[in-house]
Amino acid sequence: MLSIQNLFKRFGNLIAINEFSLTVNKGETVVLMGPSGCGKSTTIRTINRLVEPDRGSILLNEHDIMALDIDSLNQVRKRIGFVFQHFNLIGRLTTLENVMLGMVMGGMQREIARDKAIGALTKVGLETHLEHKPGELSGGQQQRVGIARALAYEPELMLWDEPTASLDPILVREVLVVMEELARDRASSMIVVTHELPFALRVADRIVLMDKGQVVEEGKPSQVFVNPISEIGRKYKELIEYQMNTSAQSLAGN
């Protein structure tokens, strides 16, 4: 479905992506983790060429992404949903209008765009908030509008870059629940950059650990977090054990 081979990206002297290769199957959810600055955001932004890689190959189904001219690239970008940390909703538009906007600007008939937007907003549980403006929504609800905006295109591939990172911890859960439902639905393949370990453990078909622009380990969560082979993998394993132990101790102590 998606095949990335030997991706390479340099910013001046800094090598941000170093011969990165990854294959994602149809309907699969891959969680991409690694230390800050290891190249996760840069990597997922190269997939639709928001960041231009220096070299490498990116095949999405029949499309050779690196070979596309700008018009064809814009067509393929519609098949790829992107959810960022900051939701960038337009404050003067309603929930429904925010989700419809891109489709209408892209030439879709208003009625069709409206149906697709309502369908997507229903999937994220916001069908009762169609007329709210972003300022009248919580952060979690705003991010769910952001998710609906990507979902409305029925993307083949969803890319998530720390979608819960700017949310109040209480609101993180509602977004993770929506993400988990979408992953279980398997309508799109997903690459999720997140530091949410419980989500990764529960939802990922595969964990990919990155360090210094490279894949250092990949496998099922039960493999990567139980018998890691990389230094980064061992650090995540220690972190999970620490979190489990401290939670158990606090509960026992109170």
The least distance separating ligand ATP from the CB of residue 49, rounded to whole angstroms, comes to 14
- Out of ligand ATP, Mg ion, none, which partner does residue 14 contact, by CB within 5 to 8 A per kind? ligand ATP
**Among 7-15, 26-34, 39-47, 75-83, which window interacts with Mg ion (CB under 5 A)?**
39-47
Residues 42-101 that bind ligand ATP (CB under 6 A): 42
Q: What are phi and psi of 155, to 5 degrees?
A: -70, 150
- Out of Mg ion, ligand ATP, none, which partner does residue 37 contact, by CB within 5 to 8 A per kind? ligand ATP
The least distance separating ligand ATP from the CB of residue 129, rounded to whole angstroms, comes to 30
Residues 48-107 that bind Mg ion (CB under 5 A): none
Q: Does 42 bind Mg ion (CB under 5 A)?
A: no
Encode the chain in three state secondary structure. CEEEEEEEEEECCEEEEEEEEEEECCCCEEEEECCCCCCHHHHHHHHCCCCCCCEEEEEECCEEHHHCCHHHHHHHHCCEEEECCCCCCCCCCCHHHHHHHHHHHCCCCHHHHHHHHHHHHHHCCCCCCCCCCHHHCCHHHHHHHHHHHHHCCCCCEEEEECCCCCCCHHHHHHHHHHHHHHHHHCCCEEEEECCCHHHHHHHCCEEEEEECCEEEEEECHHHHCCCCCCHHHHHHHHHHHHHHHHHHHHHHHC
Residues 193-232 that bind Mg ion (CB under 5 A): none
Between 38 and 200, name the residue whose CB sits nearer to ligand ATP: 38
Q: Does 29 bind ligand ATP (CB under 6 A)?
A: no
Q: Which residue is nearest to Mg ion (CB)?
A: 41
- CA angle (148 as vertex; 145, 154 as ends), nearest 5: 165
**Among 38-46, 137-145, 170-178, 235-243, which window interacts with Mg ion (CB under 5 A)?**
38-46
Q: Does 41 bind Mg ion (CB under 5 A)?
A: yes
Which tokens in the block code for residue 91? 């404050």
**Among 20-28, 36-44, 52-60, 61-69, which window interacts with ligand ATP (CB under 6 A)?**
36-44
Residue 125: CB atoms within 10 Å: 15
The residue length of the chain stands at 254
The least distance separating ligand ATP from the CB of residue 195, rounded to whole angstroms, comes to 8
- Out of Mg ion, ligand ATP, none, which partner does residue 29 contact, by CB within 5 to 8 A per kind? none
The answer to whether the beta carbons of residues 160 and 132 sit under 8 Å apart is: no
Q: Does 14 bind ligand ATP (CB under 6 A)?
A: yes
The least distance separating ligand ATP from the CB of residue 58, rounded to whole angstroms, comes to 16
- Out of ligand ATP, Mg ion, none, which partner does residue 36 contact, by CB within 5 to 8 A per kind? ligand ATP
Which residues bind to ligand ATP, rule: CB under 6 A? 11, 14, 16, 34, 36-42
Which residues bind to Mg ion, rule: CB under 5 A? 41
